[in-house]
Amino acid sequence: MSNASNPETRVIEVHNLARVEGEGSLHLKIQGNRVTDIRFGIFEPPRFFEAFLRGRSFDEVPDITARICGICPVAYQMSSCTAIEAAMNIKVEGQLRLLRRLLYCGEWIESHVLHMFFLHLPDFLGYESAISMAADHKDLVVGALRLKKAGNEIVRLLGGREVHPINVRVGGFHRVPERGELDALGEELSACRNFAVDAIRFLASLRYPELEIDYDCVALRHPKEVAMLDGAIATSRGLEIPISQFPDHFEEIQVPHSTALHGRLRNGGTYLVGPLARLNLNWDLYPPAIKKLAEEIKFTVPCHNQFKSLLARGFETLYALDHALELISAYAPPSEPAAEIKVRQGVGHGCTEAPRGILYHRYEIGADGLIRSATIVPPTAQNQPQIEADLAAYAPRLLSLPQEEMTLRCEQLIRNYDPCISCATHFLKLTVDRG
Amino acid sequence: MSAQKIRVIGVGTAGAGDDALGLEAASILRSRVPPTVDVTSDTTGGSNIATLCEGIDVLIIIDAVKPTPTFPPGAMLSWAYPAMRSAIDQSLCRNTHSFSVTEGLALAEQLGVLPKRVKVFGMAGENFEPASGLSATVRMRLNDLVELVLQHI
């Protein structure tokens, strides 16, 4: 529709985002060259889970929270376990901790590969979907499928199944693998490495829209390794706090246009979590071989272009693959599958690096081991305001484009974040109001 | 028994009511087919289908179907792919976080790895609630579904 009285007003209105977990919508209004209204709303299931958890036993929490997401259940299990272990002063160390890192490598690989090659790459190459893209890029798709399957296999082997693992428990695992069980996995990961490297080179050859944003990046930071399970929460503005202080510096607020909570800094600022933020804050800890590859493709850190999160995911995938190989090579089965647990009353905070960014959990546990209160802050909630800010900065540059092309570009930007609500692709049904 | 290489994939989600019926049917089938028939379970929706198409002549997929007035809970359906592509797409339960079964089949087709014979079997579910098992209706009919699949092996 056109706005006869104000021909310079352009409105993008999307009422229902299909193929999403919950419901989402986008409203974008531009007057002249200025975005005057932007509302990216979603409905977020985890709120219900916090209520479900109250009154449940602490040892049920990892399995219940794993159900929040089908693509990153390991993240929910790891954040819940580390929070409960903090509350009960349980130390998970040595091989048990390393097995958790290995499990997380599997999730990073399968989640990132799915997003990079099947959900996001078609945007860059101009295809409607991964299926149509496969006709012209068969080797790329076949290699990606194999790599994703290898990631899934790590999760299956350690977690008991590929989706919603059942082998994780507070303190460690129900069962740990024998040494020989990991051999075939190591061989398959090794066989995928050349593809992972070549894929990054291919991704580097793509044309990336120019959109530099001065992000406040937020990620876990560990002094000795690329953080996955633990460390301090660090920001690119210089803040570095223990995980337990997350609520002191970050908050979730309600906004009128969405039932989903929006994460923000307590000073009101937006921030970025996820692969690009992690890379910007942890690049010094990356192995030399990966840094050399970055140099070869002229990828520089810090990077402030979220479209290049595609490359950041590529580097994280390669890191996860190499790290998984290291962990498999050095693996010796621990004597016990889990640390000893003594139930005690307490409050615990956990934060781990889900594929999409930091995932914070807080639990208050009674002396009977029952959950008194639970707080879960997923990465997509934290990134929502930043997505809106990115759209506000990007949309005015697209005004010369036809409506359909402009919408596709906005979708591509949203997919930079791999938001859980839009795991599937090409979801916007657009109406244009020029009236 | 045929000398063709056959793979059966039971698709679904455990602990989500009748969405697990493909997994349960695969579990029963494992004890009913010769070792030359590969039976596997896939909880990732359809994203592994293209990979699982390698080296086989026949692909059989078992999944849960949304009930309709025509096909109430427990009703069984079978389709040939790609001939009945749209009917499959409209009937199967979708995975919001990954490929659907039809998308996985379409990808395999595009990659040229789809076997010559593909058959999809479905049973209409009754309950898809999280943290629940198979409904009594589906549990009662599950062996019938297995028998139907066996007729095609």
Whether residue A44 is predicted with pLDDT greater than 60 in this model: the reply is no
| Cα–Cα distance for residue pair B64/B67, rounded to 1 Å | 9
Query: Using one digit for the tens of pLDDT, what is the confidence trace for A114-165?
Result: 989 988 899 999 998 888 899 999 999 999 999 999 999 999 999 998 777 8
ipTM over 0.85: no
At CA A217, angle to CA A215 and CA A218, rounded to 5? 150
B133 confidence band (pLDDT: 50, 70, 90): confident
**Which one of B13, B94, B97 makes the best mutation probe of the A interface by having the most chain A beta carbons within 10 Å?**
B97
Quick one: CA dihedral A160, B38, A111, A188, positive or negative?
Answer: positive
Residues A288, A418, single domain; the answer is no
The pLDDT of residue A412 is 87
Q: Which domain holds residue A38?
A: 9-45+402-433
- Whether A396 is covered by a domain: the verdict is no
Residues A367, A272, single domain; the answer is yes
Whether the upstream peptide bond of residue B82 has omega within 30° of 0, thus cis, is: yes
Residues of chain A whose beta carbon is less than 8 angstroms from a beta carbon of chain B are 19-21, 67, 69-71, 114, 118, 129-132, 134-135, 138, 141-142, 145-146, 148-149, 152, 161-164, 420, 423-424
| Cα–Cα distance for residue pair A5/A297, rounded to 1 Å | 50
What's the N-to-C CA distance of chain A in angstroms? Answer: 6
Domains of chain B: 6-150 (3.40.50.1450)
Contacts with A114 from chain B: Cβ below 8 Å? 47, 98
Residues A361, A420, single domain; the answer is no
> How many beta-carbon contacts under 8 Å exist across A and B?
65
Nearest CA in chain B to A49: B130
| Cα–Cα distance for residue pair A408/A427, rounded to 1 Å | 10
Task: Give chain A's domain count.
Answer: 2
Cβ within 8 Å, pair A424-B106: no
Residues A287, A411, single domain; the answer is no
Q: What is the mean pLDDT of residues B123-133?
A: 84
- Whether A139 is covered by a domain: the verdict is yes
C-alpha distance from A3 to closest chain B C-alpha (Å): 36
Residues A412, A265, single domain; the answer is no
B94 confidence band (pLDDT: 50, 70, 90): low
C-alpha distance from A241 to closest chain B C-alpha (Å): 33
Of B13, B51, B97, Cβ closest to residue A71:
B97
> Average per-residue pLDDT in chain B?
87
Cβ within 8 Å, pair B44-A162: yes
- Whether A260 is covered by a domain: the verdict is yes
- Whether A392 is covered by a domain: the verdict is no
Residues A336, A420, single domain; the answer is no
| Cα–Cα distance for residue pair A347/A63, rounded to 1 Å | 20
Residues A54, A197, single domain; the answer is yes
Residues A121, A36, single domain; the answer is no
Residues A65, A196, single domain; the answer is yes
Cβ within 8 Å, pair A67-B106: no
C-alpha distance from A135 to closest chain B C-alpha (Å): 6
Q: Please answer whether residues B105 and B118 qualify as being in contact, where contact means their C-beta atoms are separated by less than 8 angstroms.
A: yes
Residues A106, A80, single domain; the answer is yes
- Whether A336 is covered by a domain: the verdict is yes
Q: In CATH, what number is assigned to the domain containing residue A363?
A: 1.10.645.10
Which residue has better confidence, A421 or A293? A293
Residues A50, A27, single domain; the answer is no
| pTM for the structure as a whole | 0.87
- Whether A395 is covered by a domain: the verdict is no
The pLDDT of residue A141 is 94
A307 confidence band (pLDDT: 50, 70, 90): very high
| Cα–Cα distance for residue pair A112/A312, rounded to 1 Å | 10
A310 CB-near residues (< 8 Å, 6+ apart)? A116, A120, A121, A124, A203, A206, A208, A416
Cβ within 8 Å, pair B44-A161: no
SS3 A154: helix
CA distances from B61 to A44, B6, B97, B113, B116 (A): 32, 11, 19, 15, 14
At CA A278, angle to CA A22 and CA A61, rounded to 5? 50
Which residue has better confidence, A14 or A108? A108
- Whether A387 is covered by a domain: the verdict is no
CA distances from A186 to A109, A165, A323, A337 (A): 14, 20, 11, 21
**Which one of B89, B96, B103 makes the best mutation probe of the A interface by having the most chain A beta carbons within 10 Å?**
B96
Query: Using one digit for the tens of pLDDT, what is the confidence trace for A228-285?
Result: 999 999 999 999 999 999 999 999 888 776 666 788 999 889 999 999 999 999 999 9
Residues A73, A218, single domain; the answer is yes
- Whether A388 is covered by a domain: the verdict is no
Nearest CA in chain B to A141: B111
Of B13, B44, B111, Cβ closest to residue A142:
B111
The pLDDT of residue A384 is 87
